[in-house]
């Protein structure tokens, strides 16, 4: 039995089966490439669902993390530490907001945004207690907590987890009229992904985000943008909302904020919103710890140069052009924004899972979204040659 099968058997025996991985066991990674336990190399085109925007083991991030590991890792927020303040200032500068609230996972950041929206609705907007409503989108993916799956329409995420948290109204993503019809005086926020990643890199119609912004302004509701996957240079801009020059009231950030090294997430907003959070009303033992803050600060400093936004935009154009050569030849649709693409596979040929299995045989790792859709999100440190490897692999699988 080879090492790959040994590790798969061990994992399947002792770890709960909440994932269905491809049969590859990764042992090391550098940049955009990983190596499995049997020495085979693969181009990583999932990048930890955008958590690895800067690739595996980025030397600048490793150096910063190592320095902090040898100094101080955790104090809890019962005390101040010398890393959180500088990180908070830097992230506020990147987002253009006056405050941030640090957490750990993306789901925790979304939960924070939900609590923040409701409290703001009661304390500032004046919605009667217990009546606050948040409008969400069909096909959303914001995490897997009980409250978050309460407003998911993914049956796998919802089944057997009832009773669900009330207070959410779901509308069709990208449909301005549907959103307009759902607004009202009890709506405290509209929560959406500027691009739905888990849905298959679904990009809303041009102008949609501007319409959402206008409707939120008209009805006195917060626009909450979940940029956990789409933000931090993935789409060729710092935030996906930037493509329409839209500034939400609340940014929800995670994944790449931890540099692929550590769970780091945050909510960023102005003081008239985040100011409703007071001591004892929300918290986290690890949120804002020195190690997380040091890594997050370094990520923000790397993004401040604009290098990764530019790389994503330029490499994304090359990827999009290369993938479109297979339209009508195995691919039914290609959607891309920056270095992020969703491919709809011809169902008469294979499923999305089968497409990913064949990509793996070509030395490329990717993940299907729903049925016939495959997501591609190579690290932003990928080279032109790496992108060409990805294009060639997709072309080979789609057309042969």
DSSP letter for each residue of 225-241 = EE-TTTTTTTTSSSSGG
pLDDT one-digit tens code per residue, 336-353: 999 999 999 999 999 999
Contacts of residue 289, defined as CB under 8 A and 6 or more positions apart, other chains included, come to 73, 74, 75, 76, 81
SS3 content of the chain, % helix, strand, coil (to 5): 40, 20, 45
Alpha-carbon gap, residue 44 to 377, rounded angstroms: 8
Alpha-carbon gap, residue 133 to 122, rounded angstroms: 11
pLDDT one-digit tens code per residue, 97-132: 999 999 999 999 999 999 999 999 999 999 999 999
pLDDT one-digit tens code per residue, 209-219: 999 999 999 99
Per-residue confidence band for 378, with pLDDT thresholds at 50, 70 and 90: very high
Cβ atoms of residues 39 and 362 within 8 Å: no
Query: Which H or E run contains 110?
Result: helix 106-120
The confidence score (pLDDT) of residue 271 equals: 98
Average pLDDT over the chain reads 97
Residue whose structure tokens are 């990674």: 29
% of the chain with per-residue pLDDT over 70: 100
Residue 171: other Cβ atoms inside 10 A: 20
pLDDT > 90? residue 371: no
The confidence score (pLDDT) of residue 400 equals: 84
The confidence score (pLDDT) of residue 56 equals: 98
Cβ atoms of residues 235 and 201 within 8 Å: no
Residue 93: other Cβ atoms inside 10 A: 11
Cβ atoms of residues 215 and 183 within 8 Å: yes
- Which of left, alpha, beta for 96 (phi over 0: left; psi -120 to 50: alpha)? left
pLDDT one-digit tens code per residue, 176-185: 999 999 999 9
Per-residue confidence band for 302, with pLDDT thresholds at 50, 70 and 90: very high
User: Tokens in use for 176?
Assistant: 């301005």
Closest CA to 340 of 211, 140, 193: 193
What's the average model confidence in pLDDT over 382-391?
A: 98
Query: Hey, what domains does the chain have and what are their CATH numbers?
Result: 60-303 (3.40.640.10), 307-375+393-400 (3.90.1150.10)
Instruction: Give me the active site residues, please.
Output: 141, 226, 255
**1-5, 53-57, 73-77, 199-203: which has the minimum mean pLDDT?**
1-5
Alpha-carbon gap, residue 225 to 249, rounded angstroms: 8
Per-residue confidence band for 1, with pLDDT thresholds at 50, 70 and 90: low
Per-residue confidence band for 187, with pLDDT thresholds at 50, 70 and 90: very high
Closest CA to 345 of 363, 364, 325, 328: 328
Closest CA to 264 of 301, 232, 235, 293: 293
253 class by beta-carbon count within 10 Å (0-12 exposed, 13-18 middle, 19+ buried): buried
Q: Is 276 helix (H, G, I), strand (E, B) or coil?
A: coil
User: Tokens in use for 257?
Assistant: 């904020």
Q: Is 244 helix (H, G, I), strand (E, B) or coil?
A: helix
Per-residue confidence band for 199, with pLDDT thresholds at 50, 70 and 90: very high
What's the average model confidence in pLDDT over 309-324?
A: 98
Cβ atoms of residues 168 and 149 within 8 Å: no
User: Tokens in use for 370?
Assistant: 């729903």
């Amino acid at each position: 039995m080879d090492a790959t099968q040994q590790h798969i058997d061990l994992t399947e025996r002792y770890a709960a089966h909440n994932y269905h991985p491809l049969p590859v066991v990764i042992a090391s990674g550098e940049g955009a490439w990983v190596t499995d336990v049997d020495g085979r190399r693969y181009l990583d085109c999932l990048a930890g669902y955008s958590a690895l925007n800067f690739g595996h083991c980025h030397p600048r991030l490793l150096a910063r993390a190592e320095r902090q590991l040898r100094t101080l890792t955790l104090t809890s927020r019962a005390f101040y530490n010398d890393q959180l303040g500088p990180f908070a200032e830097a992230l506020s500068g990147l987002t253009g907001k006056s405050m941030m609230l640090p957490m750990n996972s993306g789901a925790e950041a979304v939960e924070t945004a939900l609590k923040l929206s409701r409290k703001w609705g009661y304390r500032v907007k004046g919605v009667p207690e217990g009546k606050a409503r948040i409008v969400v989108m069909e096909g959303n993916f914001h995490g897997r907590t009980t409250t978050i799956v309460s407003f998911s329409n993914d049956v796998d995420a919802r089944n057997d987890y009832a009773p669900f948290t009330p207070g959410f109204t779901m509308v069709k993503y990208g449909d301005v009229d549907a959103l307009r019809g759902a607004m009202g005086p009890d709506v405290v926020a509209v929560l959406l992904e500027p691009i739905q990643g888990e849905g298959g890199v679904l990009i809303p119609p041009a102008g949609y985000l501007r319409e959402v912004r206008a409707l939120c302004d008209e009805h006195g509701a917060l626009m909450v943008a979940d940029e956990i996957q789409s933000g931090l240079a993935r789409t060729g801009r710092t935030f996906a909302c930037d493509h329409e020059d839209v500034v939400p009231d609340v940014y929800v950030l995670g994944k790449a904020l931890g540099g692929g090294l550590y769970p780091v997430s945050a909510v960023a907003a102005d003081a008239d919103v985040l100011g409703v959070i007071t001591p004892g009303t929300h918290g986290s033992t690890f949120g804002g710890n020195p190690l997380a803050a040091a890594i997050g600060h370094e990520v923000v400093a790397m993004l401040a140069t604009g290098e990764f936004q530019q790389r994503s935009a330029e490499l994304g154009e090359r990827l999009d052009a290369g993938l479109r050569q297979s339209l009508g030849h195995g691919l039914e649709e290609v959607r891309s924004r920056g270095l992020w693409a969703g491919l709809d596979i011809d169902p008469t040929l294979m499923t999305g899972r089968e497409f990913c299995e064949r990509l793996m045989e070509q030395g490329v790792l990717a993940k299907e979204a729903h049925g016939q859709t495959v997501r591609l999100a190579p690290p932003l440190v990928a080279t032109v040659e790496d992108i060409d490897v990805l294009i060639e692999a997709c072309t080979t699988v789609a057309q042969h």
